[in-house]
Amino acid sequence: MQRKVIRYSMQIAMLRQLLALSLINEHEFHVLKNKTMRDYDIQSDLTS
């Protein structure tokens, strides 16, 4: 489970970098974040 959370965190960090560099927009970020949450079976996001 811990590895799953670490991998999820890495994925979200990369998405945030793409957003910061304007390579994706807010809508794309949220769509990808929600898909990533489903893929890694994360139920809630406390960083929002």
Give pLDDT, residue 1. Answer: 77
pLDDT band at 47 (very low <50, low <70, confident <90, very high): low
Tell me if 29 sits within 8 A of 15, measured CB to CB.
Answer: yes
- Full-prediction pTM beyond 0.95? no
Give pLDDT, residue 45. Answer: 78
- The token pair at 42 is 């994360």
Residue burial 4-29, b: 16+ Cβ < 10 Å; e: rest: eeeebeebbeebeeebeeeebeeeeb
Average pLDDT, the chain: 93
Q: What is the mean pLDDT of residues 17-41?
A: 97
